[in-house]
């Protein structure tokens, strides 16, 4: 995998809206944060556009993202928010210039579509907070985002969880939002490498939908060939009378396998949304004392 160059003070970074609508105040706050990091934010022409549910038409959103991908001056691309929309434009983009001059793409949720596309192209990207969520993200998680972008990549220590399974493995980290991963399964942009470590998170889903997606992955062999599984935040679940938590559903789905399992990792639709380098080679080590993730 190719890792984009780390940022330096004075670098220009793009703010584009490839999916849902972002508020002007949220974008302004994010620009202030980025300037405090020594960066020069550059708004996409249609960053605040609106077209129905989306931040502009498909053509407008694709135009902004294409421009950021191709620009020699832009050193990172912050997707302003998730929602829905990336699937409508991901295959309308030309990645040839970007492949010769890769840069960090940052986001989560619906941005999973773009992360998966870049992973399939052999380019690492950053699963982490977006401008819409900057204000609600903890100071510690925001500082980690800054450190990762500027090359201060550290390992993570996560407290033990009763659903964990011990073991140590090293492989490429893939994944993102479970619903989106399920949506793009068997598509032209799905990352199909066997033996990866999978990270999953989700928000606002019915628990039966979590069960259905996990069983679908299992029945199609998607869970068979993993080296490990990292489970992030599953927040605001719609419980009903299902009788199990999202974490218990996931643990049951992978119970027959023997690879290490890390539950409770602080990433996803939660205030403590810590960054993860998707596509990166990592070591996942899980012991009784907790879980450690080391990036290489």
Is 109 assigned a catalytic role?
Answer: yes
Segments in the chain forming alpha helices (H): 24-36, 58-70, 86-89, 96-100, 112-120, 139-149, 178-183, 207-219, 246-253
From the list 60, 124, 201, 205, the catalytic residue is: 201
Our measurement of the distance from residue 139's CA atom to the centroid of its chain's CA atoms, rounded to an integer in Å, reads: 19
Given a contact cutoff of 8 angstroms between Cβ atoms, the answer to whether 20 and 51 are in contact is: no
Asked about 269 being catalytic, the answer comes back as: yes
Nearest to 14 by CA among 86, 100, 75, 72: 75
Catalytic entry in 115, 127, 161, 269? 269
Order of strands, edge to edge, in the sheet holding 125-127? Answer: 40-43, 12-16, 74-79, 104-107, 125-127, 276-278
* Placement of tokens 């090359």 in the chain: 151
Active-site residue, 127 included: no
Cα dihedral: 47, 49, 50, 55 (round 10): -20
Contact 246, 262 (CB under 8 A): no
3-state secondary structure of 83: coil
Question: Out of 109, 125, 133, 171, which one is annotated catalytic?
Answer: 109
**How many whole angstroms separate alpha carbon 13 and alpha carbon 15?**
7
Write down the H helix ranges in 161-276. 178-183, 207-219, 246-253
58 vs 65: CA distance, rounded Å: 11
Q: Which residues pair with 172 in a beta bridge?
A: 281
What is the set of active-site residues?
109, 201, 269
């Amino acid at each position: 995998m190719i890792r984009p160059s780390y940022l330096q003070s004075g670098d220009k970074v793009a703010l584009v809206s490839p999916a849902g609508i972002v508020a002007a105040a949220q974008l302004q706050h994010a620009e202030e944060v980025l300037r405090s990091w020594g960066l020069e934010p550059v708004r996409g022409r249609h960053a605040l556009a609106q077209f129905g549910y989306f931040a502009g038409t498909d053509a407008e959103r694709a135009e902004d993202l294409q421009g950021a991908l191709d620009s020699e001056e832009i050193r990172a691309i912050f997707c302003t928010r998730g929602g829905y929309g990336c699937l409508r434009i991901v295959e309308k983009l030309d990645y040839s210039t970007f492949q010769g001059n890769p840069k960090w793409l940052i986001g989560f949720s619906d941005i999973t579509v773009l992360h998966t596309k870049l992973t399939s192209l052999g380019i690492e990207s950053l699963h982490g907070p977006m401008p819409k969520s900057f204000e609600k993200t903890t100071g510690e998680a925001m500082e980690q985002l800054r450190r990762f972008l500027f090359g201060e990549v550290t390992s993570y220590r996560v407290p033990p969880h009763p659903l964990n399974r011990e073991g140590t493995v090293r492989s490429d980290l893939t994944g993102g939002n479970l619903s989106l991963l399920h949506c793009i399964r068997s598509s032209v942009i799905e990352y199909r490498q066997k033996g990866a470590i999978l990270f999953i998170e989700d928000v606002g889903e019915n628990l039966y939908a979590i069960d259905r997606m996990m069983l679908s992955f299992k029945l199609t062999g998607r869970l068979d060939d993993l080296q490990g599984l990292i489970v992030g935040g599953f927040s605001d679940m719609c419980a009903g009378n299902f009788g199990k938590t999202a974490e218990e559903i996931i643990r049951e789905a992978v119970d027959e396998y023997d690879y290490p399992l890390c539950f409770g990792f602080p990433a996803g639709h939660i205030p403590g949304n810590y960054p993860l380098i998707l596509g990166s080679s990592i070591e996942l080590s899980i012991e009784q004392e907790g879980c450690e993730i080391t990036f290489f």
